[in-house]
Structure 1
């Protein structure tokens, strides 16, 4: 341990707090600590507190170890605590950056006592992923706080290190804890605890060694990095139309063109390029780094590759996706993998695939019982039938251009692009703000409908400003500020009330959500 005890003084209980999420082996890590303490003859106690089910459920594991063999204590026994106390923890280990932030917020990390070992990767919380804008938490704030509040901190991407060694993150955490010297066990004792567990011993020892060596600064031999999910831009051939673009746009539009063509076909990619080039031709005379074209290209690629049932089925049946799942769960090449997909298609998903006339008729006919049509499906794609079902949905891509959803999206895209092009002639700054409004439309179902409504309201509001024959600089600046305020309001409030206030519109009526009482089925 790094903490020394004065001669003749009673040794202090070593307190260990582990913050992990479901499926990351936090319980196994606590068992290893107990096994190592038992092997040394140290009295030990462990408790766990399950957390709220965010990001598969965060759990605290608390272990107290008295670093004196029980045989030397005679009849005396230490008194352990069931829960950690703020400022009274020797080592805190966190399997993810915001989990480390949770420990910092709880006051468990003390600058004169606590060693912090945490992974810097992110598993985004529901509130981050469901935000209408960029809801990601600034991880650098946690890193800065950890550096300031911990006596010693070891912060690195433990998940990547675990993947490179074909193991789970808890093994790397255990190695980092042992390498820090904050737990009263030798490396050999920790490795023996892993062997005694009998669970994926060789892979666990590799992960332990990787974490230990990273913290101690010893060079380690690690496995190969996981295969890249996509082809490197440098290795991919450059499309002739991309090569003809100005340098600041080539990288972004190269990604956009590949995504759109992959979503549908090469002809759809040509449509993407035509739309971007129409904006570029109007902005190029103004010079600069072409911000309007850049942001238009960014959000146009995302919008044109909108999410639908066909896209979901396509992505779920790709070989690289299946291989990524195998890598994440640590399945070897000859091991069978049972994979269950959770789907919940509803009336909106079905109608969006139909032609516009048939879609409108079906929506009107079944609107009164749409809630009954949201059926949860558990589809096993490791079976021939389940995989064939998804492949059948994927094959509907050839019919996408005839679907109602396609017609709605393309109509709104054309309206947005027309407003951007008209605004460029007046002011590139105003056009830039309107181009950023492409971020309002995303997702599917109610989320997509809300985005369409919000964008439509912003574009309607701009018609008067764009129709002015000779607007002055002040009125242009005012219009740009108004668009920016409206966009930020739309992204901050899913109910649309903030946007209505920003545009001077009546507040939207509160939406009713019926409560359906379902008779409970008797247990079998």
Structure 2
């Protein structure tokens, strides 16, 4: 940046860093301060910790006066402790929704602000706990960033940091320097990193990657070509189905095969084909078959303790953990898994009759059986225990949970096929109801209960088939309203109102008082 311009009309350069806990936002602020101080510029930094965020979001605010203090004749600039909307020169956000939070606050101005943000997501609790797809639409944030900022530089900084074995703050620093908005050179920034004396080589690699990404971005055509997935062979059974379904069915079959075995995959395709055979005469893009295939693959690969153990012992998962914590090649890593198995997890593995007997015997003290475990899976014993649990996959078909899930799947599919005989739109809405069942424990039980209520209501409708098209449209709208009500209210009261049912009885959640042992 031209220092003469600052001398002609000196103005304080304002920088706002929006980061989350563990991402090095404080270290980034220290680097900015060190670089400014080395140039002799007056600088001030403040931080404001956030609340109710995913991992403790914090705003770091830095003001830099880009004139050497020795040339001010004893005068000192007056700095502000907090940023003002529309009065920030550089905004750096470590995650897409953090960028959205800054945009919503009005800190990005179209005639002043340079925005540097990572496009990856760290989902909020509200997004992850939603009964349906609770994810916020990141495209709206990206579009707003490009519209509201003077200059915007958006890319996946986390992936770039992992690729270079460093933390995201180094890539953010490089991107800020590469944008040309900082009042000092690249060399000054790199010297600030060296002066910190911590993980210097890795930090410099991340800085250089972020700088090059912004200063010399790759052409879009090259980037898209590099990102194009390789073409894979299509299963002959899928190739015999309509072409618009190939990609979706390929992913669905792979999901089911990975979960169980080839016989289970054949059952998946057989179930999809039964719906397809009924929808083919209607032509079009086959929306009922598409949504049935989508939700069926997810439902057939339902979460249980065997699946959890399988995923936790995979090499790619262990490698991802190493990358997330920044462990170097060959560096020991201590990994502790937090598990809380209970009566439900044990009974789900047993045969149906044994499971029912054990539930009756232990139901009165089920809460005491939920014991939290800290399992060291970096040890031979801990990892072997998970591998042993994973090996029970061959016995999954004999378990009570398998029987319950398959029975409900068949009931859902029967209702979809029965609806197709009346109206594709009605069948489509029922197919979407497959999204109601997910998770395990109480979440899975609630999904089964909600879906069962919807299917019971439809069976009553089928007992006296609607006589005209208007009645079928009304039935489809009834299913849609019931599905949305079930996803919006975990207690089921909204669903009961939508279906004209009595409200469910409040669930009993006992309060357990644990006496604290006196300190010795």
Would the TM-score normalized by the shorter structure come out above 0.5?
A: yes
| 1:138 correspondence with 2:137 | yes
Between the aligned partners of 2:115 and 2:248, the Cα distance in structure 1 is 39
SS at match of 1:395: helix
In the TM superposition, what is the alpha-carbon distance from 1:107 to its structure 2 partner?
A: 2.3
Between the aligned partners of 1:444 and 1:7, the Cα distance in structure 2 is 64
* Aligned 1:215-230 pairs, distance under 5 A: 215-217=214-216
In the TM superposition, what is the alpha-carbon distance from 1:332 to its structure 2 partner?
A: 3.1
In the TM superposition, what is the alpha-carbon distance from 1:102 to its structure 2 partner?
A: 0.9
Aligned to 1:318: 314
In the TM superposition, what is the alpha-carbon distance from 1:2 to its structure 2 partner?
A: 7.6
In the TM superposition, what is the alpha-carbon distance from 1:123 to its structure 2 partner?
A: 1.4
Aligned to 1:158: 157
In the TM superposition, what is the alpha-carbon distance from 1:415 to its structure 2 partner?
A: 0.6
Contact 2:437/2:448 (<8 A) preserved: yes
Q: What are the ranges of 5 or more consecutive residues in structure 1 without an aligned counterpart? A: none
- Higher mean C-alpha displacement, 103-112 vs 68-77: 68-77
Between the aligned partners of 1:367 and 1:68, the Cα distance in structure 2 is 73
| 1:62 correspondence with 2:58 | no
SS at match of 2:70: helix
| 1:234 correspondence with 2:226 | no
**1:333 counterpart (329, 335, 344):** 329
In the TM superposition, what is the alpha-carbon distance from 1:5 to its structure 2 partner?
A: 5.4
Between the aligned partners of 1:205 and 1:444, the Cα distance in structure 2 is 44
Contact 1:2/1:181 (<8 A) preserved: no
Aligned to 1:170: 169
Aligned to 2:200: 201
Contact 1:96/1:121 (<8 A) preserved: yes
Between the aligned partners of 2:258 and 2:41, the Cα distance in structure 1 is 59
Contact 1:94/1:118 (<8 A) preserved: yes
- CA separation of 1:469 and 1:127: change in aligned 2, threshold 3 A: closer
- CA separation of 1:26 and 1:512: change in aligned 2, threshold 3 A: same
* Aligned 1:443-458 pairs, distance under 5 A: 443-458=439-454
Between the aligned partners of 1:279 and 1:467, the Cα distance in structure 2 is 21
Between the aligned partners of 1:184 and 1:6, the Cα distance in structure 2 is 9
Aligned residue pairs total: 516
Q: CA RMSD in A?
A: 2.5
Between the aligned partners of 2:321 and 2:515, the Cα distance in structure 1 is 38
In the TM superposition, what is the alpha-carbon distance from 1:140 to its structure 2 partner?
A: 2.1
**1:357 counterpart (353, 356, 366):** 353
**2:408 counterpart (409, 412, 420):** 412
Give the TM-score of the pair, scaled to structure 2: 0.93
In the TM superposition, what is the alpha-carbon distance from 1:27 to its structure 2 partner?
A: 1.5
SS at match of 2:209: helix
Between the aligned partners of 1:134 and 1:469, the Cα distance in structure 2 is 32
Q: What are the ranges of 5 or more consecutive residues in structure 2 without an aligned counterpart? A: none
Contact 1:213/1:219 (<8 A) preserved: no
* Aligned 1:100-499 pairs, distance under 5 A: 100-217=99-216, 234-235=231-232, 237-468=233-464, 471-499=467-495
Give the TM-score of the pair, scaled to structure 1: 0.92
In the TM superposition, what is the alpha-carbon distance from 1:31 to its structure 2 partner?
A: 1.4
Between the aligned partners of 1:431 and 1:255, the Cα distance in structure 2 is 23
In the TM superposition, what is the alpha-carbon distance from 1:459 to its structure 2 partner?
A: 0.6
| 1:94 correspondence with 2:68 | no
SS at match of 1:426: coil
Aligned to 1:46: 45
Aligned to 1:516: 512
Between the aligned partners of 2:12 and 2:207, the Cα distance in structure 1 is 24
- CA separation of 1:121 and 1:61: change in aligned 2, threshold 3 A: same
Between the aligned partners of 1:513 and 1:2, the Cα distance in structure 2 is 66
- CA separation of 1:143 and 1:63: change in aligned 2, threshold 3 A: same
